[in-house]
Chain A
């Protein structure tokens, strides 16, 4: 089973700042990595698939990069609605599909 480790666990930033979230895989997942955003009481929303492709309707301030074992989700300039929990997920080697433990992006 591929383990995904996200860092940091919590990130405290202010609106307008740049956010950089990390996801590291226990073995290579090529570029088969996705990112999701989840707000309290809501279902997750797909942001990025295949490491760097924005999903439908996702603003351009969200970008993904990386390959192999190291991946990054960058939010170029934080909007108030971006404060949420973010999860990475791999589909390279399954079952099982695995998720990271999440990074909580909170307002400073």
Chain B
């Protein structure tokens, strides 16, 4: 059974940093691309970033480019999102998701999400 479990969310001040983690199990982690998608309170889904199975190729939404860094440790079956220079508009539930095929396609399994709140 595929499981994705996010952690690392919380309350952070504007300009601060946070690192999210996503522990994966139930599939061959290194074979699949992974993505982060966020959802601001009461809003729709917004793609944030994606990474290839090897970790060599990464993609970012313009809204986070230069501030967020996606990475993975295939030896630990874990996906990460390093978030720097956080802004109020980054407040959202952050989901990690497994990509069905390619680096950043359909997302066939999702974690339960972790809430990031950026506020002073």
Q: CB within 8 Å of B: which residues of A?
A: 32, 34, 36, 38, 42-46, 49-50, 55-56, 87, 89, 91, 94-102
Contact = CB atoms under 8 A, between A and B. Distances in A.
Contacts, number: 65
Nearest to A85: B44
Contacts of B47: 95-99
Contacts of A98: 47
Interface size class of B (residues with CB under 8 A): 20 to 34
B105 A43 contact: no
Given A91-B106, A95-B61, A96-B61, A43 B44 contact: no
B100 A49 contact: yes
A46 B44 contact: no
Query: Would you call the interface of chain A mostly helix, strand, loop, or mixed?
Result: loop
Interface stretch (B11-19, B24-32, B77-85, B108-116): B108-116
B110 A97 contact: no
- How would you classify the secondary structure of chain B's contact residues: helix, strand, loop or mixed? strand
Contact of B106 (A49, A95, A100, A101): A49
Given A43-B113, A44-B45, A49-B100, A95 B60 contact: yes
Contacts of A38: 45
A55 B101 CA distance: 13
Contacts of A36: 45, 107
Given A34-B106, A87-B45, 14 more contacts: A32-B105, A38-B45, A43-B95, A44-B45, A45-B110, A46-B109, A87-B44, A89-B45, A91-B104, A94-B104, A95-B61, A96-B59, A96-B61, A97-B105
B99 to A, nearest CB: 9
Given A43-B111, A43-B113, A96 B62 contact: yes
B52 interface: no
Interface in B61-101: 61-62, 95, 100
A95 B108 contact: no
B50 interface: yes
B111 A89 contact: no
Given A89-B106, A91-B105, A46 B100 contact: yes
